[in-house]
Amino acid sequence: MYDMFILDMGGHDSNITHLKEKYPHAVITRFYSSYLDSIHRCVQLARTKFIWVIASCCDYDKFDFTWEPTPWEAYQIHCWASNDQMYGDTFLIPVDEFTQQNVIQLEWYHDINYHSDGVDRLPWPITVYDDRSLSQEIIDIKLQSEYHLFTPTYTNFPQLDHQPALWGAETHQIVSYSTNNSVNLVPRCAKSFIKTQVYDYPRIRRLNTISSDPLDIIYISNGEPDEEKWYNHTVKTSGREVKWIRGVNGRTAAYQAAAHASDTPWFLTVFAKLEVLPDFNWFWQPDYFQEHKHYIFNALNPLNGLEYGHQAMIAYHKNLVLNNNNPGIDFTLSQPHTVIPILSGIAHFNQDPWMTWRTAFREVIKLIQTVQLTPTIETEHRLKVWLTRAEGNHAEWCLKGANDAVDYYNSVFGVSTSLQKTFEWDFLLKTFDRYNAQQPR
């Protein structure tokens, strides 16, 4: 009955073909960032007093295009909702009235009649991602549709209970549906903003309607006297399955064994010295809007009172761990990482002389190197405390290990290849025996 214009939103070519077969008189035109601009172009081509302006992203199989407004509603723009979105994609436009009003924004039109019995949108194009960060996926993909759905492989296909508005560029939001920002509708215009992280885009809406799967818990031990005790404590505290990696020779090999055991992209790592606090949030999630990185929590040192990331729980990114085959003297810090200022537990590294010594020795080696390369007041303070303060079981071995580390660092002149040896158990054991030949292990 009236002219019809199909706005090509991109990504739904088969629907355009279907609509063109059903309505041969329809004209296909490109959608340009806002409905106002698009409708203006359609009005200029109008041959009837009303025109239908519809979108390729909607399913019109049940829509009645013979509908007409009552005489007293003939001057109104009639807009049909898209799913729950009141600012929908289906319009009946009164040509003369629209031309006379010449509004700057579509919603400023004098009288818009919103119809809630609307039209369902078709599913947006989908990208299932896993190995790479969300920001990198957005940067690299060619976004042809006005919106694109990104979802990780381990998430069930989401039922989206909200559809974003498409009326103007300012309404084009990134819509995050999941609690960890992993499931998102991303507008095409966001691509030019994002450089390193999704937060580069200024318009984000978080709905948190999809619960994120909890991260796997991996427990790593290597013969610690209390490994059974703290494993059982972790199981009891978390109330979940805890996968145990035990007796793997070498830190890199142990961490990578843990990564292979994980079925989630990140995994919470508990080391066999850590008494996890009973109120720790085991449902904590990484933020997919940021680049892939490791997340380091805090732990309390029971001998010297320091509270920072040493021996704390770490949320490791699985693929980063598997690709870290040549780490520096600190495995975690050799890749992108950040600190989460949440106390995860108490680090009981003072279970026997050997464990206490090697833990202090390793940590002080790393602290000295950090002070030499990138000194901060905080790091210098931590180093001073390790060297001078210790109270409790095996406190003397803590101080001995710390000061032996200073001696070793100076003896090798801080050469990185010599420091790297402290990463391996066999070397540490020989070094312990050399520094403590007269003492029992």
Q: Is 256 helix (H, G, I), strand (E, B) or coil?
A: helix
Q: Are residues 200 and 224 located together in one domain of the fold?
A: no
Is 139 found in the same domain as 109? no
Same domain, 336 and 400: no
Domain boundary among 119, 153, 169: 119
Model confidence at 32, in pLDDT bands (50, 70, 90)? confident
Tell me: do 244 and 328 sit in the same domain: yes
Looking at the structure, tell me whether residues 227 and 335 fall in a common domain. yes
The residue out of 119, 136, 156 marking a domain boundary is 119
**Number of domains the chain is built from:** 4
Q: What is the pLDDT of residue 132?
A: 85
Amino acid at site 21: E
Shared domain check, 425 and 320: no
Considering the domain architecture, whether residues 136 and 77 belong to the same structural domain is answered as no
Choosing from 100, 119, 138, the residue where a domain stops is: 119
Q: Model's pTM, two decimal places? A: 0.85
Query: Does 331 lie in the same domain as 441?
Result: no
Same-domain status, 10 and 63: yes
Q: Are residues 32 and 82 in the same domain?
A: yes
Whole-number pLDDT of residue 282: 97
Instruction: Give the residue-averaged pLDDT of 253-257.
Output: 95
Q: Which pLDDT value is given to residue 410?
A: 94
Same domain for 223 and 341, yes or no, is yes
Burial class (CB in 10 A: 0-12, 13-18, 19+), 104: exposed
* Same domain? 261 vs 151: no
Summarised one tens digit per residue, pLDDT across range 336-392 is 999 999 999 999 999 999 999 999 999 999 999 999 999 999 999 999 999 999 999
130 pLDDT more than 70: yes
The Cα-based distances of 117 to 74, 83, 166 in angstroms read 19, 9, 18
Residue 143, domain extent: 126-210
Q: Sorting pLDDT into bands at 50, 70 and 90, what band is 155?
A: low
